[in-house]
Structure 1
Amino acid sequence: MKDPKADLYAAPLNGEWQKSSLSNSNGDVCVRLMKIDGGVALDDSKRPDLTPLRYTRTELAAFLQAAKAGEFDHLLDD
């Protein structure tokens, strides 16, 4: 059985990384996202040696909806 995410991890990273406007100005402390075929790649600019994680559009949409609803707010320090 083929891994359903195999195609995502085979997709080239040939787009441009997008970071939050709330990241620091020199861009070395941020989570970055890139649109790829079938989904989105996510990486940590501080660790370019690590393979970026890949998510389907559905997975990212579910995460963003939950984040906007405040479901993860308890994970942040007060």
Structure 2
Amino acid sequence: MDEITTKLLETAEWRKATRSGDSGDCIEAAPLSDGRVGLRDSEHPEKSPYVFSPSVWEAFIDGAKKGEFDF
């Protein structure tokens, strides 16, 4: 991961769904100041998160809202 991304992730404000409660079993997302979005496993926040461009994130959210990932 490049130095700029690392710095952005260090100051990121991570969010998780309220449905997860206090269990910690959730995926957390953070908007980065350059428009990208970080995504990490809340059970292992020390691991490197995935970072997505705004267009990739928007496509995923659109598909999730349409039920395309309902298994």
Alignment size in residue pairs = 69
Displacement of 1:15 in angstroms is: 2.3
Alignment of 1:34 with 2:30, yes or no, is: yes
Give structure 1 stretches of 5+ with no counterpart.
Answer: 1-5
Alignment of 1:49 with 2:68, yes or no, is: no
Q: Normalised by the size of structure 2, how large is the TM-score?
A: 0.79
Percent identity for Structure 1 against Structure 2? 32
Which structure 1 residue ranges, 4+ long, deviate > 4 Å from structure 2?
none
Q: Is the 8 A contact 1:42 1:54 kept in 2?
A: yes
Give structure 2 stretches of 5+ with no counterpart.
Answer: none
Q: Normalised by the size of structure 1, how large is the TM-score?
A: 0.73
Counting helix residues as a fraction of each chain, which structure ranks higher? 2
